[in-house]
Amino acid sequence: MSRWQVVVAIRLKAEILDPAGQAVGHVLQQMGFDTIAQVRLGRLVDLEVEAEDREQAVAVAAEAARRLLANPVLEVFAVTEAREVGGHR
Amino acid sequence: MSRWQVVVAIRLKAEILDPAGQAVGHVLQQMGFDTIAQVRLGRLVDLEVEAEDREQAVAVAAEAARRLLANPVLEVFAVTEAREVGGHR
Amino acid sequence: MKPEEVGLTAQEYDEIVRQLGRTPNDLELGLFGALWSEHCSYKSSKSALALLPHAGPAVVTGPGGNAGVVRLEGEWLVAFKVESHNHPSYVEPVQGAATGVGGIIRDVVAMGARPIALLDSLRFGEDAPSQRLLDGVVEGVGNYGNSIGVPTVGGEVYFAPAYAQNPLVNVMCVGLLRQAHLMSASGARVGSGVYLIGQPTGRDGIHGASLLASQDFTAEAEAVESMRPTVQVGDPFTGKLLMEATLAAIATGGVEAAQDLGAAGLTSASAELAYRSGVGMELDLDGVPLRESAMTPYEIMLSETQERMLLVVPDDQLGAVRAAVAHWDLTLHRIGRVIAPDVLRVRWHGQVVAELPPTVLSGGCPIRPLDRTAGQEVVRTASPAVASPDLDEALILKVLAHPDCRDRAYIYRRYDWMIQTRTVFGPEHDVAVLQLRETAAGLTLAISGPGRWAAADAWAGGAGAVARAVLGVMLQDSEPMGMTDGINCGNPDRPAVYGQFRRLVEGIADAASAFGVPVTGGNVSFHNETEGRAIWPTGIVGVVGRHPHPSRPWADRVRVPGWRLVLLNPAPRPDLGGSVLAHALGQLGRYPAPPLEALAATYPRIQATLRALAPEGFAVRAILDGGLLLALAKLTLLFTDVGVRVKLSDDDPVARLFSEEVGQVVVALAPDQLSRFAQQAEQAGVSWMELGETVEDPVVELAAGSGRWRLRRDQLRQAWQTYVHG
Amino acid sequence: MKAAVVTFPGSNCDEDTVIALERLGVEPVRRWYKDTDLGGAEWVILPGGFSYGDYLRSGALAARAPIMDAVEQLVARDQLHVLGICNGFQILCERGLLPGALRANRDGKFRCTWEGVRVASAPSAWPGFQVGQSFRLPIAHREGAFTVSEQELDRLFQEGTVFLQYCDREGRVVDEAANPNGSMGAVAGLARGRVMGLMPHPERAVSQFLGSEDGLEFLRLWLQGR
Ligand SMILES: Nc1ncnc2c1ncn2[C@@H]1O[C@H](COP(=O)(O)OP(=O)(O)O)[C@@H](O)[C@H]1O
Ligand SMILES: [Mg+2]
């Protein structure tokens, strides 16, 4: 077993409206960021997982995302990173 | 000018308490995810930026993060991705 | 380590060595730095606070505990206190305000009381950055209060450039408890265990109180940046568990003492508890649950991690208390025990790392004697009288639209003010009225302290704040039981600021004595100054009253035309000093000193006059910010469908309309009540003048001398509800 | 009749809900989120609050609590009438017992105001509610904007799942003006089978001096479900 740092990225489905992102985009426009055309907000979950290997670490994170971290009605998720951080035990 | 999809990842500073992450970790434990040792929640901002090149796209995103998207008291940010999505104009 | 690194002066260090009879080690010096800081020791303020009257028929516990306590009815008591979180809110508004709310809630819980209401008193500058601070602070107050389920039932907010880099965030919490659950700060007995519950201790906020709140700000961004490690994050969810667990533990009857961990964390909580109980304490830091590895004893002792509480429990009660805490998913961690000798002994990894007498730590800090000469020049500074401008519609709209007057719905909409279903009068009203299921009597809560009134004469501001809050409570047919005060000033080492502070306290003390309302606790916040520019001295007064019929509050609105309008206790020569109008004109002047003796005699007479009327036959409002004109507008068309027609016989109608002299009251009377009113007022010896009547049209019609003015409701509402700075 | 009120660690409207039920002559059974059954109750209210701190998404963590397994089983067997109020509604959606999700309000801010709501379709399990009937009830939430895909929303209206919509003082549904939080379709509450959820707080509107008695009437009609 070793320790893995796994990152889950959760985003709104493309067809779901993101008023909070729009509001941020609006403020950015007002602040003069006129090259920023669109803003969408998502969530990032950093997990520390004990696993045999990368594959297992990713699988556990994906399972956690499927069952709790992401809401399937609105969101999609992806495991974007898995780094070994702790030695074998 | 072309269109870039830029991702900004915003995380709590390591020394800042993350009650939200704690609560999520607690529930994951209860759900039987006993190999998940720690959970920290962050934010993800997807920006669509008009820019000459990748470098400029990243710079604009970083500037937006510095001035608005991230709270420097509590958070750190990183531009993690910049992909060209729209053709030149 | 050097004394100045922990905020101590050379003299204070010498005093420590003298009292200890030895030099302290670095850890011990750090503990002194925290407990002898202004924030924890009250070294500059204590002698002035001694002027405040503490005794009254309802008082159960005065200052000294975590919150004051008064008796409401039978076995039911009310605990309440105001606390400031000014500096943290400037550094990080959302978390600063949230942790302020969490802190005052825990103070009330530590008395054994269930929090049932919050009131917030806020001050900001008028510039754009201040707007962002306001938004963050409101977010933070709401976040914590809404989540933990305590309604924010009232509050106040004022704006002036003097607060631009020193916003004020004072929050008052009110809790209800049974006598049997009252916790005493002096309850710890030798042999009992000392336990910590709540959030694991991390490196947050080390020296937050002693350094952050005990120093002035400099304008440089880096200075604020460097204070950032002291920012704490509020966790209302754990706060809720901690509140429930603590109350459940106390309800078992097995808790001897409870103390929240606030400023200076474990050091302050343990030393204060030992000191007040006249005992010593042994702490074993290895028992403290930590969030981060490799924390030093210094960090563990001074961490200001939020959502923690210290409980003292004798061994034979442990089972019941442990179970009560465990129900709320928290764990009781044993971190020490109560001992007889006067010593706070701190062990870590099996070694004694600090050993100090609580009497020296908590009771030894030299107190600055009351200085009656400092700041006399402030008192003598003459401020020019405010000259009345010409009356026109624009002037009226200007006052209505002023940030100190305008509709506060944009703030209180973001607070849950109805949870717990007790709120009969919420933040839309001048005072809050709560109906309680536990007692027939209800509560009337008022909070008040305009800095405008204290800017030129702190005494007048302090006295005025008390006079105003007491009147608000009495106009709800209620009896003031006690008050709490939050004193906010600049750097007390400057004689002028110290003078303001002393005059402010004297004003509060004189008024509290005149009205016979005891001060049962409060808070002092100094160093609200940046680059030598101090805030206006600001004394915030919270009054708690007993309401005999809370489900039938005295009305503060009129819904029918044809009611007569009268002004009770009118100022003989109304003065515009300190008013919103004066503030808006940029020539504040000086708020007239309230005639305390006369007001103290008149308030009960006003109450008696109103009591004699048919309860459905009148509506009443005090004259507050914006003067008579705003009181009339709020009585009618800003909230109901009727308007007012008013005829003034004054030579100076502007002063009559906008003066904020305290003690004046507007009453609307059903036509059949007028003669009874006149007779009662005469009998009671209260002066009054006729103003006019309510009318069907939603307009304000004014006549004075040969002048006529008329404003429609949409004009007034638009001004009042649309807000533009500057 | 046996009605239960569930308390999650961060529930804060549970007490108000119990009191409201008592005023209607019902002595509620209190259940704790770790309980694995409802104590024989055939009626249950999931009250408002911040069930689990609501840190990930409102209701997300509470939806995975043991008591929700019991709720789901009884719902599947048609043996339970469920009412989710505010956070309780969020929990029902997160659990999949009601469709859609509740996201941050349009302006991202918490909002505590009195609002009008109108019955959009009569729920089959509750014959007391009539289409067009309106109530004045408080809302108090940050995440109350009902969200689904456009097609799903149409379907919910067609099926009669949309039970309550926000309305103005005259009882008219006017999307922008009388929609306090940006809910799609001005949806304030849903009912499907014997599961009902709404953002407003009927338990707070239980006497004139608190602002309205409409909530008492609402709960009375809920208790008349069949
Ligand atoms: N302005 C004041 N008026 C009356 N009592 C005060 C005032 N300021 C502080 N006190 C009292 O001094 C004691 C210590 O206050 P404080 O250190 O603020 O308490 P805490 O440690 O809970 O923050 C309390 O009992 C408080 O009520
Ligand atoms: Mg305290």
Helix (H) or strand (E) holding C607: helix C596-611
Between CA C518 and CA C526, with CA C522 as vertex, the angle to 5 degrees is 135
Would you state the pLDDT for residue C18? 96
Please name the residues in contact with D214: beta carbons below 8 A apart, sequence gap of 6 or more: D135, D136, D137, D202, D205
Verify C-A touch: 3 or more CB pairs within 8 A: no
Average pLDDT, chain C: 93
Which residue among D57, D64, D104 places its CB closest to the CB of A71?
D57
Would you state the pLDDT for residue C333? 97
For residue B72, give both structure tokens: 């420097």
Cross-chain residue pair A68–D60, CB shorter than 8 Å:
yes
Which residue of the set D94, D115, D143, D203 is catalytic?
Answer: D203
The pLDDT averaged over each successive group of 10 residues in chain D (226 residues) is: 94 96 95 95 95 78 91 96 97 95 91 97 96 97 92 95 94 81 96 98 97 97 93
Would you state the pLDDT for residue B29? 92
CA C147, CA C309: separation in Å to the nearest integer?
A: 19
Residues 123-182 of D with CB under 8 A from A: 145, 147-150, 182
Answer whether C522 contacts ligand 1 (Cβ < 6 A).
yes
Decide if D217 is catalytic: no
Would you state the pLDDT for residue C210? 55
Q: Which chain A residues are Cβ-neighbours of B35 within 8 angstroms?
A: 49-51, 60
CA of C193 to the centre of ligand 2 (A): 20
Answer whether C575 contacts ligand 1 (Cβ < 6 A).
no
CA of C82 to the centre of ligand 1 (A): 9
Using a CB–CB cutoff of 8 Å, tell me whether B19 touches chain C.
yes
Q: State the closest ligand 1 atom to the C-alpha of C64, by its place in the atom list counted from 1.
A: 25
Helix (H) or strand (E) holding C564: strand C564-568
CA C549, CA C441: separation in Å to the nearest integer?
A: 6
CA C573, CA D135: separation in Å to the nearest integer?
A: 50
Residues of C that are catalytic: 39, 85
For residue C482, which ligand has an atom nearest its CA?
1
CA of C261 to the centre of ligand 2 (A): 7
Q: pLDDT tier at C221 (50, 70, 90 boundaries)?
A: very low
Domain D2-222 in CATH 3.40.50.880: yes
Q: pLDDT tier at C231 (50, 70, 90 boundaries)?
A: confident
Cross-chain residue pair D108–A17, CB shorter than 8 Å:
no
Q: Each residue of C374-423: pLDDT tens digit?
A: 777 665 566 778 889 899 999 999 999 999 999 999 999 999 999 999 99
Cross-chain residue pair A73–D148, CB shorter than 8 Å:
yes
The per-residue DSSP string of C279-347 comes to: -EEEEEGGGS-BSSTT--HHHHHH---SSEEEEEE-GGGHHHHHHHHHHTT---EEEEEEESSS-EEEE
Measured in degrees and rounded to the nearest 5, phi and psi for residue C324 equal -60, -40
Q: Which chain D residues are Cβ-neighbours of C329 within 8 angstroms?
A: 9
What count of Cα atoms within 13 Å lies in the side-chain half-sphere of residue C709? Answer: 22
Mutation for A interface: B1, B24, B44, most A CBs within 10 A: B44
Q: Each residue of A11-47: pLDDT tens digit?
A: 999 888 888 888 899 889 989 999 999 999 999 999 9
Q: A–B: how many Cβ contacts below 8 A?
A: 96
Q: Which protein residue has the closest C-alpha to ligand 1 atom 24?
A: C64
Neighbour subunits, B (≥3 Cβ pairs < 8 A): A, C, D
Q: Each residue of C382-393: pLDDT tens digit?
A: 677 888 989 999
Would you state the pLDDT for residue C220? 45
Please name the residues in contact with A45: beta carbons below 8 A apart, sequence gap of 6 or more: A7, A8, A10, A65, A69, B24, B39, B40, B41, B42
Q: Which domain holds residue C184?
A: 47-361
* Count helices and strands in chain D by DSSP H and E runs: 5, 11
The ipTM, to two decimals, is 0.91
Beta bridge partners of D84: D46, D197
CA of C259 to the centre of ligand 2 (A): 7
Answer whether C65 contacts ligand 1 (Cβ < 6 A).
yes
CA D224, CA D1: separation in Å to the nearest integer?
A: 10
pLDDT value at C716 more than 80: yes
Name the packing angle between helices C674-684 and C596-611 (round to 10°). Answer: 140
Answer whether C262 contacts ligand 1 (Cβ < 6 A).
yes
Using a CB–CB cutoff of 8 Å, tell me whether D210 touches chain B.
no
CA of C465 to the centre of ligand 2 (A): 24
Torsion of CA B47, B51, B53, B59, to 10 degrees: -60
Query: Which residue from D minimizes the CA distance to A44?
Result: D56
Decide if D81 is catalytic: no
Residues of chain C contacting D, Cβ within 8 Å: 139, 142-143, 146-149, 235-238, 240-241, 328-329, 412-421, 423-424, 435, 437, 551-553
Would you state the pLDDT for residue C224? 44
The helix/strand/coil state of C121 is strand
CA of C81 to the centre of ligand 2 (A): 10
Q: Which chain D residues are Cβ-neighbours of A69 within 8 angstroms?
A: 56
Cross-chain residue pair B73–C199, CB shorter than 8 Å:
no
Mutation for B interface: C291, C328, C331, most B CBs within 10 A: C291
Asked if residue C696 is part of any domain, the answer here is yes
Nearest Cα to Cα of residue D140 among D104, D110, D106: D110
- CATH number, domain with residue C272: 3.90.650.10
Total domains in chain B come to 1
Helix (H) or strand (E) holding B57: helix B54-64
Q: Give the gap in angstroms from C-alpha C293 to the nearest C-alpha of chain B.
A: 11
Would you state the pLDDT for residue D102? 94
Which residue among B24, B30, B31 places its CB closest to the CB of D56?
B24
Q: State the closest ligand 1 atom to the C-alpha of C39, by its place in the atom list counted from 1.
A: 17
Within 10 Å of residue B30's Cβ, how many Cβ atoms? 14
Classify residue C162 by its DSSP letter: G
What are the domain boundaries of chain D? 2-222
Burial C66-75 (b: 16+ CB within 10 A, else e): bbbbbbbeee
- CATH number, domain with residue A47: 3.30.1280.10
CA B28, CA C690: separation in Å to the nearest integer?
A: 69
Answer whether C487 contacts ligand 1 (Cβ < 6 A).
yes
Verify A-B touch: 3 or more CB pairs within 8 A: yes
pLDDT value at C222 more than 50: no
For residue C263, which ligand has an atom nearest its CA?
1
Mean pLDDT to the nearest integer, C425-430? 97
Would you state the pLDDT for residue B14? 84
Q: Which chain C residues are Cβ-neighbours of D210 within 8 angstroms?
A: 418, 421, 423-424, 435
Which residue of the set D13, D93, D143, D201 is catalytic?
Answer: D201
Percent of chain C with pLDDT over 70: 95
* Better-predicted residue by pLDDT, C87 or C225: C87
Would you state the pLDDT for residue C218? 53
Sheet of D3-7, strands arranged across: D29-32, D3-7, D43-46, D81-85, D195-198, D187-192, D162-167, D111-119, D134-141
For residue C111, which ligand has an atom nearest its CA?
2
The per-residue DSSP string of A55-74 comes to: HHHHHHHHHHIIIIIS-TTT
Q: Which chain A residues are Cβ-neighbours of B36 within 8 angstroms?
A: 47-49, 60, 64
CA C645, CA D129: separation in Å to the nearest integer?
A: 46
pTM of the entire structure?
0.94
Q: pLDDT tier at C225 (50, 70, 90 boundaries)?
A: very low
Query: Which residue from C minimizes the CA distance to B38?
Result: C291
Q: Which domain holds residue A62?
A: 2-86
Between CA A31 and CA A40, with CA A36 as vertex, the angle to 5 degrees is 105
The per-residue DSSP string of C343-383 comes to: -EEEEETTEEEEEE-HHHHTT-SPPPPP-SSTTHHHHH---
Percent of chain C with pLDDT over 90: 88
Answer whether C273 contacts ligand 1 (Cβ < 6 A).
no
Q: Is C170 exposed, middle or buried (0-12, 13-18, 19+ CB in 10 A)?
A: buried
Answer whether C660 contacts ligand 1 (Cβ < 6 A).
no
The helix/strand/coil state of C269 is helix
Total domains in chain C come to 2
Please name the residues in contact with C13: beta carbons below 8 A apart, sequence gap of 6 or more: C3, C29
Q: Each residue of C95-141: pLDDT tens digit?
A: 999 999 999 999 999 999 999 999 999 999 999 999 999 999 999 99
Using a CB–CB cutoff of 8 Å, tell me whether B68 touches chain C.
no
Nearest Cα to Cα of residue D86 among D177, D147, D168, D13: D13
Mean pLDDT to the nearest integer, C458-464? 97
Mutation for C interface: B11, B15, B16, B17, most C CBs within 10 A: B17
Would you state the pLDDT for residue C226? 47
Sheet of A36-51, strands arranged across: A75-86, A2-12, A36-51, B36-51, B2-12, B75-86
Domain boundary among C361, C381, C399: C361
The owner of tokens 């549904």 is D173
CA C503, CA C487: separation in Å to the nearest integer?
A: 11
Using a CB–CB cutoff of 8 Å, tell me whether D55 touches chain B.
yes
Nearest Cα to Cα of residue C701 among C652, C637, C627: C637
Would you state the pLDDT for residue C335? 97
* Better-predicted residue by pLDDT, C184 or C483: C483
Cross-chain residue pair D150–A15, CB shorter than 8 Å:
yes
Q: Checking DSSP bridges between strand C479-488 and strand C538-547, what pairing results, if any?
A: antiparallel
Q: State the closest ligand 1 atom to the C-alpha of C66, by its place in the atom list counted from 1.
A: 22
